Each structure stands twice: as structure tokens, then as C-alpha cells.
Amino acid sequence: MFNNLFSTRKKNTSGWFGNYSSWAEVSAVAGGYDSDIILNITKEAILKVKNGEAVYERDSVIFDEKQCPYALLAYLQLSAALKKTALHILDFGGSLGSTYYQIKEYLTKEVCASWNVVEQAHYVACGKEFFEDEVLKFYPTIEACKAAKKVSLVILSSVVQYLEKPHEFLKQLASHGFDFLLFDRTAFNDKANDRLTLQIVPAEIYPASYPSWFFNQDFFLHHFLGNYKKVAEFPSYVEGEEIMKIDNKPAGFDKGFYLINKSFHA
């Protein structure tokens, strides 16, 4: 398998590769996501956005022109309208507030009461030191965030595919009973099963690689069938993510879902 894997990398040295049988197997050749290098690069990029020196940051890369996640904005506004009050939003795996800064200008007081990032401990520490304000807050767990805020909506953007045990997490997420769930930029494939790959980041961004899932859509959504209604699904707003290559062949895609708790929606 590894001979085939490395031969395909010669065509393109970054992207998604392989079809691994376990997290341990792919982790053995991956560099991980908890590197201090990644945190520092991300911090510097988002500080430039915060300080008005850059327009927009995504995945630690700064851009001169902003790409707006219109679907995410639309469902935030719809949720606030249905709730008839501003939302306490939980942004799971939200880095140092990337999405918050991306759409901050649209987060009126009628839509957003607070934006709460749940992240790894070193991101939380960095977020509290450099980015936290009266709206943007950082927490180490969903439970800690719930203890501080009455969360109505959870955003999960490009995060679930990087969890070691995503289905355990999704089951736990469903059990919290949040009013609204908004998945964005989540990776899927058309096969009958989930596929576990090695994602290699382009060297010009930062030197890193880590495990990355491509989910079977039905299996992904079945965790929510009992308590949630799927109101909408939508493609990624990021160019190139509607068709994604694994081993240099089209094999996956990013998309999103907007779910409403049936007890709230009834």
C-alpha cells in the first residue's frame, strides 16, 4: 500500500492519500494538527485580520479578497428569526475565531448574542490572551461552554473529519439537544463506507499532515434522524471543494447541512 501511496504523491505532493484501516495506522505517518507551528502561523494570520492588516483568513492562509459563506449566514439569520432572539453560538473546532472574524460585519446584535469557540487547550489559552472580547469567547469543552452560555446553535465547519472517533462525537452531539446544528465544509464520499486518508498540507502553508475522514453521508446523518430534521444541504463555498481528489483521482466532496431539532421545530 505504501509503495502505491508514495508513487501517487510524485504527481501531487499535497492533498489526500490512501485508504487506511485505522487511526493508528495513518497517525504513524502523520505529523498531527496540535503542532505549535500551526498555532503560531494561525495566530499571526488572524491577528492581521483582527488588526485590519488582512481582509480574511482561512486555514491559516490570509487573502486579499473575502469569500463569504452565504449559506452559513443565511441559516444563522433564519435560526435567530425562528428563535426570536439573538443566538449564543458554539463554534466547535473554530480555531482562534476564523469564522467569527470572517462574518463579523454581518453579526448584528439581533443575530449573535455571543460567539463561543470550543477548541484544544493551547488554542483556548491563545484565544483568551489575544482574541477574546465581549462577544468572542473560548472554552475547552462543550460542557464548559454550556455552563456559561445558553447555546442555541452549533457550527461545525471543516472539523468533524479530523476527529479520531467522529461517530462517537456525533452521537454525543445529538444527545445535547441543541436547537440548531450547522455543518459546513464537511468531507464525504459516494462509497458505502467512510474512508480514512492522510491529508498532506501544501508546504507553502505549513509543514504538516494528519488523518482525515471522508464520510458516508447516510451513516453520518443517521445519528440525528430521531431528534432532528434536515432542513437543507449545500455545497462548500470554497473553490475546489465541491470535487476533491484522493490519490489524485476525484473521489470526495465537501458540503454542509442545516438541522433543526424536531422538538423545537414542531
**pLDDT value, residue 12:** 64
What's at 27, amino acid-wise? Answer: S
User: Average of pLDDT values for 235-256?
Assistant: 95
**pLDDT value, residue 266:** 54
**pLDDT value, residue 35:** 73
Give the torsion sign (CA, 191, 196, 197, 201).
Answer: positive
Chain length of the chain: 266
The whole-angstrom separation of Cα 222 and Cα 205 is: 35
Phi, psi of 115 (to 5 degrees): -120, 115
Please state which of the ranges 57-61, 91-95, 212-216 shows the lowest mean pLDDT: 57-61
Domains of the chain, by residue range, sit at 34-188+218-240+255-265
188 band by pLDDT with thresholds 50, 70 and 90: very high
The whole-angstrom separation of Cα 16 and Cα 82 is: 39
**pLDDT value, residue 7:** 37
**pLDDT value, residue 54:** 81
Other CB atoms within 10 A of residue 166 CB: 19
**pLDDT value, residue 10:** 47
DSSP letter at 33? S
**pLDDT greater at residue 201 or residue 87:** 87
**pLDDT value, residue 134:** 96
pTM: 0.92
pLDDT in tens, 86-115: 999 999 999 999 999 999 999 999 999 999
Kindly provide the b/e burial profile for residues 106-137, where b requires at least 16 CB atoms within 10 angstroms of the residue's own CB.
Answer: ebeeebbbbbbbbbeeebbebbeeebbeebbb
Q: Are strands 87-92 and 112-118 parallel, antiparallel or unpaired?
A: parallel
**pLDDT greater at residue 7 or residue 225:** 225
Report residue 123 CA to chain centroid gap. 15
The whole-angstrom separation of Cα 62 and Cα 53 is: 10
Q: How far is CA 3 from CA 9, 196, 197, in A?
A: 10, 18, 15
Q: Residue 179 in contact with residue 83, Cβ under 8 Å?
A: yes
Q: Class assignment of domain 34-188+218-240+255-265?
A: alpha beta
Q: Looking at the predicted structure, is the pLDDT value of residue 201 above 90?
A: no
Instruction: Report percent pLDDT > 90 for the chain.
Output: 75
Average pLDDT in the chain: 91
**pLDDT value, residue 259:** 98
**pLDDT value, residue 264:** 74
**pLDDT value, residue 128:** 98
pLDDT in tens, 14-36: 999 999 999 999 999 997 655 78
Q: Which three cell numbers stand for residue 207?
A: 509543514
Tell me how many degrees the CA angle 170-16-185 measures, rounded to the nearest 5: 45
User: Average of pLDDT values for 220-236?
Assistant: 96
**pLDDT value, residue 9:** 43
3-state secondary structure 194-237: CEEEEEECCCCCCCCEEEEEEEEHHHHHHHHCCCEEEEEEEECC
Instruction: Report percent pLDDT > 70 for the chain.
Output: 92
